[in-house]
Structure 1
Amino acid sequence: MRDFSWRAWRLRFERLWRSSLQLRTVAIAVVLSAIAVGIIGVYMSYSINNYLFDSRLEQALSVSERSNVAAQTRFDAAQQTAGLDLESVMNTASRAALQSATTSAGTYIAILRTPGQSGARLPVDLVSPGLDPDATISTELRNDVEQSDDRRLYWQSIGLELSDGSVAPGIAVGSLLDIPGSGQYELYLVYNLSDTEQVFAFVQTTLWLGLAALVILIGAVTYFVVRLIVAPVRLAAETSQKLAAGQLEVRIPEKGEDVIATLARSFNGMADSLQRQITKLAALSQVQQRFVSDVSHELRTPLTTIRLAGDVLYDQRDTFPAATARTTELLHTQVERFELLLADLLEMSRYDAGAVDMELEPTNLVRLVEDAIDSVRTLAESKGTELRLEAPGGYFEADVDARRIRRILQNLLANAIDHGEGRPIVLYVDSNQTAVAIAVRDYGVGMTSASMSRVFDRFWRADPSRQRSTGGTGLGLAISVEDAALHGGWLEVWSEPGNGSCFRLTLPRVHGVVLTESPLELPPVDEPSKEDTDA
């Protein structure tokens, strides 16, 4: 459950990221600013730390040098005073050394006799309270001081253990002392850098807070700047969507003289031009549709009269001379074709006017295909064409307008019979959970790619000189495409010269479902054998 919630939030964020230019711009600006500020912050923090440490080290070395001189002066003076207690001199020298280091708080002192010298350790080593020289002063530092042949200073960064158990940063500085009559001693001054560390922590905290505030400020500024730019773009997008939806009167407000105002004026000029053209084309289309509809309606009355008179003559054609009888038959045939043409023109005018209604009902498409086959069986037998049905099984019921689907199938079958060269015609029906597909496959003359691109055009024929048996009007496939689209389906064609053609009708099982694939390939793979196609 938690994983599902995380995926839902992730998908929601991805959709928001893809759809929001403002979010992407602000996020990218903040991320890049944070990276740049982070690099600057690290560099400044490193530089400040080095500067504070170097300053404190320089101060410690200067103080240690003065302390060494002060202590050595005390010991040199003691050489000239007879009977002076060296322990007292040691204390005096240590106080002089510490007094020279009064500029540094938290300073410890240790005066240790260099190991390996003959004679007694006199005076004894002196160590400030709270300082453990064995733990604080490393062997490496003592070796450097011992091997020095002058009063050179040596230092080392250390961790200074305090009385409360905590460890503070520190610096240990060592140098040599010569005590008359006692040999070589080592002077170590240990400086506590806690105050420097506190200063650095304060500076670092202030620095990072300032840089974080800078990143937030950059994000806020970017947000407002992008909003000023994106708002007109969003308004233009909304206006264009309204124009696409048919609200041709909407426009973008024009303010100022900047680039956005120029964009608004250009957009509004384009919208004005489109509105004029669309209005003009709509008026022209309406006049054309009305003309076709009016002509079709007006022709029905005289056509009905001609049809009645022609039927009377056709019924009595046996009593007429041969030439008159043949004329009567031609009149009867052409009147029927004229009626079909008027019906198709009226149907196309309804599609053009958007005044088409559907009567949807659950329909078994296999039975509908069987009915369509029965309606053209006589024509197929006259051509010597065998009609086959391949329906392997599945979800064959769909919500369709049975009259329109039957009309599509009859058109496809009639065309297949006319161009099938008497070879078998196979109808395939297959389905899945969302769609039903019907394919009509013939093995006749086929079509070129140029012909396939125009096969659904109105009044277009692949071969006008070809003898047709069905007396088509040239509108059958155009009406079939409109019927398929009305159901939310597809009507597609495949053809090769000499290998026949295949028309595939794909329909959603439930009206309103968007199709994504067809249950049948185009053309279907289970085709008849070569012997059948050559029959």
Structure 2
Amino acid sequence: MILTLCVAVVFSAVSMVSVRASLLTQTTSQSQADFSNMVEQAQTGLDASDATTTVQIQQLVNDLASNLQSDGASNLVGVYMWSRESTARSIIPISTEPTYEDVITSDIHSAVASDLNGNVFYQPVKLPISSDALGADTPGAVLGTVLDYGAAGNLEFFAIYSYALQQQSLTQIQLSLLAVCALLSVAVGVVMWMVIRGIVRPVEHVAYAAETLASGNLDTRVDVNRKDELGVLQRSFNGMADSLNQKIDELEEASASQKRFVSDVSHELRTPVTTMRMASDLLEMKKDSFDPATQRTVELLSGQINRFQDLLADLLEISRYDAGYAALDLVDADVRDPVNAAIEQVAGIAAAKQVDIRAMLPNVQVLAKVDTRRVTRIIRNLLANAVDFAEDKPIEVRIAANRKAVAISVRDYGVGMDANTVAHIFDRFWRGDPSRSRITGGTGLGLSISMTDALLHHGSIRVRSAVGEGTWFLVLLPRDPEQGEVTDSDLTVDFAGEAADDFSITGGFGVAESPVAERSSALVLASKQLMPRHDEPETGNAATDDEEGGAR
């Protein structure tokens, strides 16, 4: 609308300049033509006169000026004559309209007085007496020349013309153009608003439907009420929603079938695997009587059956999660007990790989409501993963607790992982380095099961890792899962940054308060002092006595 208004104003300005120039040229030509006729009429009258006395000459000039004023154009304001030279027989100056006599400037008067060739002089002027509606002076023009009259000498002849009518016409044209500009802008604005409204509203409906569809309402559709491109958009959206709905149904059906298949196969394989386990145990008991090759075969068979049993156990656990049957068996327990149990379970493979597990746990109870079996499994899986990638470097296990949350830290200083690998470590059947020799023989489900166990506690597992610097897991669990999740601000320890390779932490390790009221007559912190490695600076900020309620 503003652009249309600007174009209209520019067009009007150009039109006004053109119209004004045209009117000026036309009016000037008319005035000059009328003045030429008046000069010819006056010269004819003077030539035909036989006046000889001063009185006769004066009367002749008076009559001639009166006739010229009467016969002149409608915009002729006044006629003025006076002698060119001061002589005894010079006439009294004649003015048919004395009011405008001062408009004849000395410039044009001097030009006419000094002319010897009978030229016509033209000068635009302003007529101050008559004013238009805007209060500006009326434009006009003065034309002058010399009339040859031998009896009285040459006469200076002037005529003043008013352009008031032309000025009024020009003003009327200006007002009309302004009105047209305003009406055109309003009309264009209304049309543009209607057009844009007709385009935007259907698009808004489609956008709103898309947001509703994205929020999970897969039955959202838009009304198809147009036959143009917007109608194509409406039909395309509905087609996309139908296809998406169909694809989701297919995926859900495939996922359900896959879950049923895993569950059914896992349950069906338990009986034959149990039988194989019994047969393997029987052979294991008698392997000393076999030849060396057979003994080795029995050992390999027993190992593979163990892996098969672990895989079935993990698959059964996953199937319980998918079916929604997984539940917590919460008891008030000392968190150190499942942690120590997990360390004992992986102690054998850690010793085989010459990896030192350093358990730096508080020497006071850390009581919380937990499912000890699941917590043990979480820590065992994290330790088994750390052993595989520790590369003969120690693994550190620590505990931090406050009134609302418990944090269990498992850190190794092995090969570490890049950011892309960290993003997938909790995915099912995903292994960061399948080519690496692994003593634990993992199934690719351990970390996924650990994360699910943590989520069942309304907690989480957070990880930081960097290539060549190792991996650090923080298992964050609420002290009472029945109270729901614990906000980050209430955690006793957490990673400070968001980057996957940022090992800085907030808080410190230790017990800020006894987990149960009957055991917390005083805030006692007597956790073992964690000494930093000689080649690794301590990261994070340990809790102070004032901040955590006791010594670290």
Band of TM-score, shorter chain: 0.5 to 0.7
Displacement of 1:172 in angstroms is: 2.1
Asked if 1:142 corresponds to 2:82, the answer is no
The TM-score with structure 2 as length reference comes to 0.62
Match of 1:13 in 2: none
Offset from partner CA, 1:124-183 (integer Å, 9 cap, x none): 3334232252xx334443344344443433222222211789541322232223343444
Displacement of 1:330 in angstroms is: 6.9
Measure the CA separation in 2 of the matches of 1:74 and 1:263.
Answer: 89
Displacement of 1:224 in angstroms is: 2.6
Offset from partner CA, 1:33-71 (integer Å, 9 cap, x none): 223323322222222222222232222222222233333
Contact 2:224 2:231 in 1 (8 A): yes
Asked if 1:111 corresponds to 2:61, the answer is no
Q: CA RMSD in A?
A: 5.5
Residues 174-323 of structure 1 mapped to structure 2, 5 A cutoff: 174-178=143-147, 179-254=149-224, 259-292=229-262
Residues 447-462 of structure 1 mapped to structure 2, 5 A cutoff: 447=417, 455-462=425-432
Change (3 A) 1:472 1:205: same
Residues 318-333 of structure 1 mapped to structure 2, 5 A cutoff: none
Match of 1:523 in 2: 501
Amino acid of the structure 2 residue aligned with 1:51: S
Change (3 A) 1:532 1:500: closer
Segments of 5+ residues of structure 2 without an aligned counterpart are 290-297, 329-334, 361-369, 400-406, 477-484, 490-494, 506-531, 538-552
Structure 1 stretch displaced more, 186-195 or 137-146: 137-146
Asked if 1:161 corresponds to 2:128, the answer is yes
Change (3 A) 1:473 1:230: same
Residues 29-68 of structure 1 mapped to structure 2, 5 A cutoff: 30-68=1-39
* Matched residue count: 454
Offset from partner CA, 1:466-510 (integer Å, 9 cap, x none): 4557675423444577799999999676544xx245568899985
Amino acid of the structure 2 residue aligned with 1:519: G
Residues 410-429 of structure 1 mapped to structure 2, 5 A cutoff: 415-423=385-393
Asked if 1:100 corresponds to 2:63, the answer is no
The TM-score with structure 1 as length reference comes to 0.64
Match of 1:124 in 2: 92
Contact 1:160 1:167 in 2 (8 A): no
Question: Which among 346, 349, 356 is matched to residue 322 of structure 2?
Answer: 349
Contact 2:58 2:92 in 1 (8 A): yes
Greater fraction of residues in helix = 1
Contact 1:168 1:192 in 2 (8 A): no
Amino acid of the structure 2 residue aligned with 1:225: V
Structure 1 stretch displaced more, 464-473 or 62-71: 464-473
Aligned with 1:130: secondary structure?
helix
Displacement of 1:281 in angstroms is: 1.6
Amino acid of the structure 2 residue aligned with 1:123: I
Change (3 A) 1:331 1:60: closer
Contact 2:82 2:155 in 1 (8 A): yes
Segments of 5+ residues of structure 1 without an aligned counterpart are 1-29, 359-367, 390-400, 430-436
Displacement of 1:412 in angstroms is: 5.5
Task: Give the % identical residues.
Answer: 28
Contact 2:124 2:140 in 1 (8 A): yes
Question: Which among 415, 433, 446 is matched to residue 445 of structure 1?
Answer: 415
Amino acid of the structure 1 residue aligned with 2:182: A
Contact 1:169 1:194 in 2 (8 A): yes
Amino acid of the structure 2 residue aligned with 1:90: V
Displacement of 1:372 in angstroms is: 10
Measure the CA separation in 2 of the matches of 1:91 and 1:168.
Answer: 30
Change (3 A) 1:45 1:172: closer
Amino acid of the structure 2 residue aligned with 1:125: P
